[in-house]
Chains A and B, each alone.
Chain A
Amino acid sequence: MPDFPDTRPVAVETHGIEKSFGDGAAKLLVLKQVSLTVCKGEILMLVGPSGCGKTTLLSIIGGTLRPDCGEVTAFGQPLHRMRSSELTRFRAGHIGFIFQQFNLIPTISCAENVAVPLLIAGVRSSVAIRKARETLGLVGLADRAKDRPGFLSGGQQQRVAIARALVHEPPMVICDEPTAALDASNGEIVMNLLAGVARSGDRAVMVVTHDNRIFSYADRIARMDDGRIIEVRDAAAGHGRHFLHELPH
């Protein structure tokens, strides 16, 4: 499987991953021998038609799903061998999640939403809220800390979600269609933030997207089809622009 060699340190590595859903005649093989490397400090975008296995691969790399076979090593830890409780701890400490629909809890303030990963990690509430306010400042929403998410625009809500994904300083951020619910300008703001996250924090950022407007932010783009990675191109070397035109819009 083509995968660009990279001089940057490896964050996540998968080898020969397979994943199927259902049983018997209804069994559907979603991932077929997928191997992929995600490096620190890069934005890797997973693209491809609906149902090609992007989100399944993202879930496995994020430790929310187990592969049927193959190996997943993230930050030196073999996720495929971990027990459920170990995976839960791994996610809490290593992964920041950004969801398409934000999934901000509507009944609590933005600062409290951002503080959730710290509370999960066992940080005291007052400390967590203080840190959450600081992180909201980094995404330009310090003045909305006390507001509930419902009072914010879609773009602002996604920025709150980014703050939530970063507040506990995870080495990897996983994004599922982060700009799908946003207009062009808000999508640009969000992607600039994520690019900054990848570069300044030396974090691995993995983005599943259909949104061709944001391909220019990728360092590498992995194209999937029918459960396989059929191509990985180095966007920073100019392949990305070309690749952009090849993808189905």
Chain B
Amino acid sequence: MFRLAIQMLFGDIAKYLMLVVGLFFATFLIVQQASVFCGLMRWTTSTLRNVPAPIWVVEEQVEQVNETNPLRDTDVGRVRSVSGVAWAMPLYSGIQRVRLDDGSFKTVQLIGIDAASLAGAPPRMLEGNLESLRLPNTVVIDELATARLSPVKGGRLKIGDQFEINDIEARVVGICDADRSFTGGPYVWTIYERALQYSPPQRKMLSAVIAGPVAGVEPLEAAREIQRVTGLRAYVTGKSGGDDENFAWSTIWWYVRNTGIPISFGTTVIVGFIVGVAIACQTFYAFVLDNLRYLGALKAMGMSTWRLSAMLMVQALTVGCIGFGLGLFATAGFARAALENKQPPFFMPAVVPAGAFAVIIIICFLAAMLGIWRIARYEPAMVFRA
């Protein structure tokens, strides 16, 4: 009987296409917008991936990685002294202005790392040597910076090219792969002391202390100990820790709570749901009404309401799966373009398509229930009165 249901569905091409298109749009809106939202939230934590360290120690009021409340230089030593901490290094992180050869300015995310250990260096170098950072006035830039900081439109910076940060020369000695920052500026790495020279002087300049635990101690355990001993805020990275102990989740929740981003994207996702419900329910109900005499005849011939309901459910779920598949395919096309252009932000964790599929199934269920409600109320004798 399910084959019959499918044949009845595919036989009405106009309504079948309308249903698929409605569910396609719903899927596309929901998955695309949710993925862009996830991508945007991922951008907020780019610094954590670009500056890898198991533990970040920051000022006690800091809730997210893009917020800087400077520490005292002596705090590096205080963190090092905590039992369970294997190493602790200073880190500078701040937005600075780069002056290009044509006199224009661009903002960059300047990262200053320890010269001896190079802890916090970019994880993947594409060109050049990271250790060249120890040479005078040298920087490592990310791929975005090669285009963004090029004095020639359409050109790219190469190793050996120069620009100025606060009137101080910066020579490119390496190009690395890095995640894009939330502010849109490219990442520039240098050593900690030179980063302080590049930045306007302040009483306190230390942005954070990055640290690692001794072997056998979990980062979370070490972070809690740092917090207990120093009174500073110590976050872990990676997958360990709760929302208030993991710096990435703490950062994401800060943006969720303090910006209108979730409302904006959430509204579009809700619109997607409403579009799906409106089109699917209206069209499916019209489809059932159009086929009512045939469904009624089946009922008269001895098909139970349960089996008719199952047929309608199969029809609704079939268009749901097809619409969802096409919507996901279109989103993949969008994702490909977004990832090639590095914008808009796009990140699709498994929960997004899974959640969207659940939403589409709910829409199909609602649509099928409307039809089932109609056919359940249809007396088989009515088929004689058609």
User: CB within 8 Å of B: which residues of A?
Assistant: 55-56, 58-59, 62, 64-65, 85, 88-93, 95, 97, 99-101, 103, 105-108, 112, 116-117, 119-121, 125, 176
Among B55-63, B254-262, B298-306, the stretch that binds chain A is B298-306
Interface of B is mostly: helix
Most chain B beta carbons < 10 A, residue from A56, A97, A101, A176:
A97
Is the CB–CB distance between B8 and A108 below 8 Å?
yes
Measured in the bound complex, the distance between the Cα atoms of B386 and A89 in whole Å is 23
Is the CB–CB distance between A108 and B300 below 8 Å?
no
Is the CB–CB distance between B8 and A120 below 8 Å?
no
Q: Which B22-67 residues sit within 8 Å CB-CB of chain A?
A: none
Q: Which residues of B contact A107 (CB under 8 A)?
A: 7-8, 10-12
Among B141-149, B345-353, B375-383, the stretch that binds chain A is B375-383
> What 1/0 flags go to B343-366 for Cβ under 8 Å of A?
000000000000000000000000
Q: Which residues of B contact A59 (CB under 8 A)?
A: 381, 384
Is the CB–CB distance between A103 and B293 below 8 Å?
yes
B3 contacts the other chain (Cβ, under 8 Å)? yes
Q: Which residues of A contact B298 (CB under 8 A)?
A: 116, 120
Among candidates A88, A103, A105, A112, residue contacting B302 with C-beta atoms closer than 8 Å: A88
Number of B interface residues, CB 8 Å?
A: 27
Contacts A58-B384, A91-B301 supplied; 6 other A-B pairs, CB < 8 Å: A59-B384, A88-B299, A92-B303, A93-B302, A105-B4, A112-B7
B263 contacts the other chain (Cβ, under 8 Å)? no
B17 contacts the other chain (Cβ, under 8 Å)? no
B385 contacts the other chain (Cβ, under 8 Å)? yes
Measured in the bound complex, the distance between the Cα atoms of B303 and A91 in whole Å is 9
Q: Which residues of B contact A117 (CB under 8 A)?
A: 301-302
Among candidates B7, B303, B379, B383, residue contacting A99 with C-beta atoms closer than 8 Å: B383
Q: Total A-B pairs in contact (CB under 8 Å)?
A: 84
Is the CB–CB distance between B301 and A97 below 8 Å?
yes
Among candidates A89, A103, A116, residue contacting B383 with C-beta atoms closer than 8 Å: A103
Is the CB–CB distance between A116 and B4 below 8 Å?
yes
A/B interface sample: 19 pairs, CB < 8 A = A55-B385, A59-B381, A64-B300, A64-B380, A85-B304, A89-B302, A91-B302, A92-B303, A97-B301, A100-B384, A103-B383, A105-B4, A107-B8, A107-B10, A112-B7, A116-B4, A116-B298, A119-B1, A119-B4
Among candidates A99, A101, A108, residue contacting B11 with C-beta atoms closer than 8 Å: A108
CB-CB under 8 A for A112 and B4, given A59-B381, A65-B379, A101-B386: yes
Q: Which residues of B contact A95 (CB under 8 A)?
A: 301-302
Shortest 9 CB-CB contacts between residues of A and residues of B: A107-B11, A92-B302, A59-B381, A103-B297, A65-B381, A64-B380, A64-B381, A91-B302, A105-B294
Q: How distant is A110 from chain B, measured CB to nearest CB, in Å?
A: 13
Q: Which residues of B contact A112 (CB under 8 A)?
A: 4, 7
Q: What residue of chain A has the Cβ atom nearest to residue B296's Cβ?
A: A103
Measured in the bound complex, the distance between the Cα atoms of B331 and A12 in whole Å is 62
Q: Which B292-329 residues sit within 8 Å CB-CB of chain A?
A: 293-294, 296-304, 307
CB-CB under 8 A for A97 and B300, given A59-B381, A106-B11, A107-B11: yes
Q: How distant is B338 from chain A, measured CB to nearest CB, in Å?
A: 40
